[in-house]
Structure 1
Amino acid sequence: MIEPTQTAAGGQQPPAVPNPPKNRRRPVMMAAGIVGAGLGLAGLLLPAPYVIETPGPSFNTIGAVDSRTLIEIPGEKTYPTSGNLDLTTVYMSGGPRNPVRLFEVAAAWLDPRQTVAPEELVYPPGVTGEEIQNQNAEAMTSSQETSVAAALAHLGVKFDQRMTVVGFADNAAAEGLLKMDDVVATVNGKPITGIEVLRAELNAGHGKPVELGVVRDGKRLDVEVTPKANDDGEFQLGVLLGTDFDFPYDVKIQLDNVGGPSAGLMFALGIVDKLTPGEMTGGKHFAGTGTIDAEGKVGPIGGIVQKMDGARDQGATVFLAPAGNCGEVAGHVPDGMQVVKVENLDGAVKAVERIGSGSTAGLPSCG
């Protein structure tokens, strides 16, 4: 029997209505749970604006890939090599080319061998998958050319290079004075053998006008330009310069389906090893990464933690890391691996030769 309850005014309330039987509530709760689970699963399958980096394969620059010698120098005397000078790679998932799902991002966050980053930090807004592919292919071609230049310069082999105007920055100092496809041959009478020569001369003048020797449509002319300082206090012409090389050697680098500029250092080391007597590695397994310019300067790259992990998986015991990446390397070095900090090709060659001969002490590291 259900007893009436008292109201605040002292009257009576009607009898309370009993709860529905449990067997009527259960189907409703089960249906709500199924709907909620379905919505959660659908959410996990939605594209997520993130990029995931995972360790990729390594390729021995003094070896072969798919039965093809990776670096060939036909018509020139080369020497036997041994061991490995591996270039390293990273698998990139996400972005305009291959979007990732939310459940993949969640799994990557839990995996210490993977890195997750917001898409906008990796790719410019509005870029297409085709544009990314083309940019990576162009960067790989450029890195191969500069690696040949750096290797030959290290060996003292002379070659020609031309700096050509390929674009202008906003409010460029040289806009209206230089034109597209102009060859910038000299600065204040000095031959421009590389971009560093031009930069040094511009900064030495502290903003004073410089005289450029330019070849336009086959004719030589002199152009006076007053450089402008950027936010870092460096003086610039405000032009984008491309480099055309004329090498005495035909160096063939045969590697498909790998893009980007980060293999430059290891390509250069492979070329040096092939063109010099003796086995530079001493049979040891090296790996590394880094961009390189024609003067041999090594620059930082992305995904270095994954590259170290991938290299160790494939047997590398020494990793050559750009000095600019040392902050990311510290605390992430795989067990059993020595990391050597490199700033330029000369230093990298010396490090490989020392370790190859059995000496590992005193080499610069990333901490």
Structure 2
Amino acid sequence: MPDEPLPFPPSDEPAHGDVGPAEVARTDDVPADAPRPGARAVTLTLSMLVSAAVFAVMLVVPTAYAVSSPGPTKDVLGEDQGKPLITISGAPTYPSTGELHLTTVSATGGPGYPSTPLRVLQGWFSPWSNVQPREVLFPDAGETREQVDKANQQAMVSSQENASVAALTELGYEVPATLTVAGAVQGSHAEGVVQTGDIIVALDGTPLPDYQSLLDGLAGVEAGDTITLTVRRNGAEKDLTIETGTKVDGSAMIGVYIDPTFDMPVDITISIDGIGGPSAGTMFALGIVDKMTKLDEANGEVIAGTGTIDVNGAVGPIGGIRQKLEGARRDGATWFLAPASNCKEVVGHVPGDLHVAKIATLHEAREAMTAIGAGKGASLPTCTAG
């Protein structure tokens, strides 16, 4: 399907009205002294035909480029196709007067969504679009459109669960979880010790009723320390001794992939169609917080933002931050919450009078939302060149 509508829609009507058989011109009807078209007219006609053919080709021929542009935004406090984006049952909710917009990027160049030459030209001349080789954005040449859509949808579902857990934890709820081992990190000391399907129940003798308890327990462990991990395997508990490794930030890691299953104390449903990926997590979490608190944090302001989120509330980097900034400004936002890890891409690329506040956690995002609603946004930390 071409990226742009055809310049002239097809029609069943003749170009110059209904012409019957009796009205068809014959060569012998043309006067002998009729003027013949000159060379200039022929050249002009040919030029127009060639230009039309080139333009038609530019509408449909795929290129080897991917083009990213500002996509639509959605107010997570509002509705999508007549349904609330966020529905909460099992706990009180409160009205909100502000708007919290998740932001998106519209991309062509992937499987099933080719970038035409015209689309590439438009991208090159737009300050808010990004044109790059297709393989940069879509590295798997054999991936199908269905596979891309499925992966994006899975990432969206995961981000919604993370947002719900992080929001409830931020609001003081305990969210019980079953911590199931999905595998061991290759090369770690946990390899060959844990087994896929083990259920982690304690760390150094301290029970782990939820994911946050595991994180709190690891916070007191230094990289290289030996820990005792108690797991339930085949119905019986077993103590495993593991030497911890080192994360990129220098903290300790067990070397275990965990697939948590959460027992949500509040029923939260997020409904949105046509948008995939993990980057809306932070705005979903903020929307849940705003709905579940008496304070009207946004207080009439239009706040946009982006960022992945994990279950403990850490906000992660995303792609297309510049396109999302412009999409937010275009749709009426005056504030934008940007992941701190994206700040280098933000500096010098903030459109119009949009104000940017940097955030690294859901708690910081909540505080920023509250400050903006209270008219104190000027005091918030922002992205700087330093």
Q: Could you say whether these structures have the same fold, taking a TM-score greater than 0.5 normalized by the shorter chain as the test?
A: yes
CA contact (8 A) 1:49 1:94 kept: yes
TM-score (norm 2): 0.79
Give the match for residue 20 of structure 2: none
In the alignment, the residues of structure 2 paired with residue 228 and residue 318 of structure 1 have an alpha-carbon distance, to the nearest angstrom, of 40
CA contact (8 A) 2:166 2:312 kept: yes
Structure 1 runs of 4+ off > 6 angstroms? Answer: 37-44
Could you say what secondary structure the match of 2:343 adopts?
A: helix
Give the match for residue 124 of structure 2: 109
Give the match for residue 227 of structure 2: 210
Moved more, 124-133 or 83-92: 124-133
- 1:123–1:226 CA distance, 2 compared to 1 (3 A): farther
Give the match for residue 341 of structure 1: 358
CA contact (8 A) 2:218 2:253 kept: no
Give the match for residue 308 of structure 1: 325
Q: Which amino acid letter does the alignment assign opposite residue 112 of structure 1? A: P
Moved more, 201-210 or 340-349: 201-210
TM-score (norm 1): 0.83
Q: State how 1:218-297 maps to structure 2 within 5 Å.
A: 218-229=235-246, 235-297=252-314
Q: Which amino acid letter does the alignment assign opposite residue 307 of structure 1? A: K
In the alignment, the residues of structure 2 paired with residue 292 and residue 302 of structure 1 have an alpha-carbon distance, to the nearest angstrom, of 14
* Correspondence 1:85 to 2:100: yes
* Correspondence 1:362 to 2:368: no
Moved more, 230-239 or 154-163: 230-239
Residue-pair matches, total = 342
Give the match for residue 135 of structure 2: 120
Deviation for aligned residue 1:131 = 2.4
RMSD: 3.2
In the alignment, the residues of structure 2 paired with residue 44 and residue 61 of structure 1 have an alpha-carbon distance, to the nearest angstrom, of 35
Q: Pick one of 70, 84, 89 that aligns with 1:55.
A: 70
Q: Pick one of 147, 155, 158 that aligns with 1:131.
A: 147
Q: Pick one of 96, 101, 111 that aligns with 2:111.
A: 96
CA contact (8 A) 1:147 1:293 kept: yes
- 1:191–1:137 CA distance, 2 compared to 1 (3 A): farther
Moved more, 237-246 or 67-76: 237-246
- 1:315–1:232 CA distance, 2 compared to 1 (3 A): closer
In the alignment, the residues of structure 1 paired with residue 80 and residue 251 of structure 2 have an alpha-carbon distance, to the nearest angstrom, of 43
CA contact (8 A) 2:68 2:323 kept: yes
Give the match for residue 19 of structure 2: none
In the alignment, the residues of structure 2 paired with residue 86 and residue 210 of structure 1 have an alpha-carbon distance, to the nearest angstrom, of 43
- Among the aligned pairs, what percent are the same residue? 41
Moved more, 232-241 or 64-73: 232-241
Could you say what secondary structure the match of 2:71 adopts?
A: strand
Moved more, 236-245 or 71-80: 236-245
CA contact (8 A) 1:48 1:101 kept: yes
In the alignment, the residues of structure 1 paired with residue 290 and residue 247 of structure 2 have an alpha-carbon distance, to the nearest angstrom, of 39
Deviation for aligned residue 1:245 = 1.0
In the alignment, the residues of structure 2 paired with residue 60 and residue 39 of structure 1 have an alpha-carbon distance, to the nearest angstrom, of 41
CA contact (8 A) 1:162 1:183 kept: yes
In the alignment, the residues of structure 2 paired with residue 69 and residue 40 of structure 1 have an alpha-carbon distance, to the nearest angstrom, of 43
Structure 2 residue runs without a partner (length 5+):
1-41
Q: Which amino acid letter does the alignment assign opposite residue 342 of structure 1? A: I
Could you say what secondary structure the match of 1:136 adopts?
A: helix
Give the match for residue 164 of structure 1: 180
CA contact (8 A) 1:202 1:236 kept: no
Structure 1 residue runs without a partner (length 5+):
1-26
- Structure index of larger Rg: 1
